[in-house]
Chains A and B, each alone.
Chain A
Amino acid sequence: MNIKVRKGARALGVISVVGALALTGCSSSDSGSEGGSSAGGSQELTVWHYFSADNQVKLMDDYADKFEAAHEGVEVKNVFVPYDQLNSKLISAAGAKTGPDVVVFNGADASTLALAGALAPLDEQWGAFADADQFPDSVIHTVDDSIYAVQGYVNLLGLWYNADILAEIGVEAPTTIDDLEAAMAAAKDAGKGGITLSGLPQSQGEWQAYPWLTSQGFDYTDPQAADLESGFSMVRDWVDNGWLSQESVTWDQTVPFQQFTGGNYAFAANGNWQMGAAEADASFEYGVVPLPVGDSGKVYLGGEGEGIGAHAKNPELAWQYLQETYLDAEGQLLAVSNVGSLPARADASADEAVTGNPLLKPFADSLSSAGANYPDSIVPAASVADLQITVGQAWSAAIGGQQDPAKAAESVMAALPSLLKK
């Protein structure tokens, strides 16, 4: 009898070890309460986001203050979820019929979230929204003819430059890739770094790679291995020449900008949302020009999509929150002053805060001359995430030297046919 018990206990122990191990790989940490709740007559509105930069967090706080001031008894609870955990947490939560009231997420993931049932359709609310005509179609995320999210602003990449370094090496802000490479070479000769960007093997890498790959003629509509290889080769050459640190494969988009504001790099390929960080941290003169990606080059028009959770506790209040913050002219100007985002509304984008800001103008120019849908409209909704990591990993492999540019291009080309199949 004893022997049996011990055997059983041992078997139980073994299975528990395995079970615990299996769980470890798939578990994720708790990052706050899920869903809104009412308690003691007060209402709680839960907003999930992935912002960690100070200026972006401040914008979230400002929105919470604005809404709470207008609605007595309402508490807006901003919950931070790391960028690469947000989607999976939302999808898991939807499976458990729970989730936040409001979701602020990477706009490119709208289709992933909508198809997974994590977002509520907004057709009814949008149809009744008086200011709907202020918004261009490009910021409205539609999946299977239903609206699931709207962007309050647009974010895109530009070329930040350290004006002090350019003055020291005697070059102007570049307008072509040749100019850029000449300037980086001169900066290196002067003992400075060339450029910072993100080479992380995930969607941020793909977002950063796109302008440089398209500058060499690559296009998802008619993908050619030679163009892709040319794009990877160009950036790998930057590493070999000492203009770009190979360490960029470990950087998300925040770290390279911190490196830039440290004052030792001539350029940073980074977004308009870094305006607050530049003002706070840079102790040198700086400016922005459009990314010099030539005629074929394109720059993704990104930004966060805002939607209502499929299982929101307070969907009406959530829509009210969106109307009075992200979709409101005054709210969008808060995003301009805090973060440097380009407002989506026509009236807000014509405001002096935007038109009179010399740092925003190059982004606005880039938007009209090279702006491209993010994700590319040719990519089927179900393949967006897959394509992003495939290209992100190849970008990282080329920069980090894990694969030579030809091999990196080959790996992407092998995956593209199935990913682009409708």
Chain B
Amino acid sequence: MALTMDEQPTRKASSAPALRRDKNRGRNRLYFIAPAAIFLAAFSFYPLLQLVRMSVSKVTSITLNSSWAFTGLENLRKGLEGEMPDALGRTAIFVVVVTVLGLVGGLAAAIALRGTGKWSTVLLALMVFVWALPPVVNGSVWKFLLGDAGLFNTVITGLGMDTIPFLYDQSWALMSVAFVNSWAVIPFNALVFRAAILTIPTEVFEAAQLDGARPWQEIKHIMMPAARPTLLVLTVLTVVYAFRSFDFIYVMTYGGPGTATNTLPFLGYIQAFVRYDFGLGAATSVVTVLLVLVMAFIYARSIRREESES
């Protein structure tokens, strides 16, 4: 009892400052979070709320700056009866091509750039440069390269073959723009894959070589398993990237020929900023956002799983 009596003041004296410290730490954390939270609220939550509100309202260039009449799901109905289903189909094809090419290309580049020699550093710098290029510049260069008088067709016709209608045939155009999108995402994927591969201890490769493993076997049995946890995260990010792709289509084909490269984001742009039916454009964008949201949740789950595994 005496001991208890003696201990009590001591405990009180030591726990009060500790509580204060915890409180201060909590407050400090809030201060650090505040700028990002304010930024997100202003530039993400508010626009998203406005987007959703717009998607259930009749908003044209005339009413954009005044009050918006609520129309429920009318815009969604109009979109589904109009161009949205076709655009969704094109978006799906586009996403598959960009994701497959982007991931395969990224992994291949990461494996090729595994070393730390001069050339691999130069190539890495070049890839970062490609990644950092604004899509409008990248797209303009590719539009030129893929034209009838561009580099690719000059080589193709030089080999005695017919010109390929890269950007003006309805099937080729979608594939060409998807290819250029993949080209632009490969550097990012390569850098992330490379980081994963670089975590493999060199002893593992040395042991494999002593066991007589060939390069292909090193890739298959050492590098690919090491890159697997990264693969899911990158897959989700690449799918999201492909889903929201707008810039390259805008620069290279403007959705054409006709509507052959009208994917969901571009369709939303045309509806909102060319036809000035902001309500319809917002409804298309909300559908896109919902699909991206699904990907974002998969991304969050995969991150959590990766964290728990590590």
Contacts and interface: CB of A to CB of B under 8 A. Distances in A.
Nearest to A17: B296
A12 interface: yes
Given A117-B65, A385-B276, A23 B43 contact: yes
Interface residues of A, number: 53
Contacts of A20: 44
A11 B299 CA distance: 11
A208 to B, nearest CB: 13
Interface string A182-209: 0000000000000000011110000000
B275 interface: yes
B62 A250 contact: no
A94 interface: yes
Interface string A346-375: 000000000000000000000000000000
Contacts of B170: 400-402
B124 interface: no
Contacts of A84: 273-274
A346 to B, nearest CB: 34
A199 B168 CA distance: 10
Nearest to B26: A1
Given A14-B300, A400-B257, A401-B170, A26 B285 contact: yes
B235 interface: no
B279 interface: no
Given A19-B43, A245-B148, A382 B257 contact: no
A117 B255 CA distance: 29
Contact of B257 (A87, A201, A202): A201
From A117, A248, A386, A396, name the one whose CB has the most chain B CB atoms within 10 angstroms. A396
A12 B41 CA distance: 10
A375 to B, nearest CB: 14
A139 interface: no
A378 interface: no
Given A382-B62, A389-B270, A19 B259 contact: no
A328 B36 CA distance: 53
A401 B257 contact: yes
A85 B250 CA distance: 11
Interface residues of B, number: 56
Given A15-B44, A23-B43, A23-B47, A397 B257 contact: yes
Interface residue SS majority, chain A: helix
From A25, A201, A402, name the one whose CB has the most chain B CB atoms within 10 angstroms. A25
A250 B259 contact: no
B154 interface: no
A117 B257 CA distance: 33
A245 B149 CA distance: 12
A105 to B, nearest CB: 13
A95 interface: yes
Interface stretch (B69-77, B100-108, B184-192, B287-295): B287-295
B228 interface: no
B248 interface: no
Interface string A69-88: 00000000000000011011
Contact of A22 (B255, B275, B289, B297): B289
Contact of B260 (A17, A115, A400): A400
Interface string A393-407: 110111111110000
B198 to A, nearest CB: 25
B58 interface: no
26 contacts: A12-B36, A12-B40, A14-B296, A16-B44, A18-B289, A19-B44, A21-B292, A22-B292, A23-B43, A26-B272, A84-B273, A88-B272, A91-B65, A112-B276, A201-B257, A201-B259, A246-B165, A247-B147, A250-B256, A386-B277, A393-B255, A393-B258, A396-B256, A397-B259, A400-B258, A402-B170
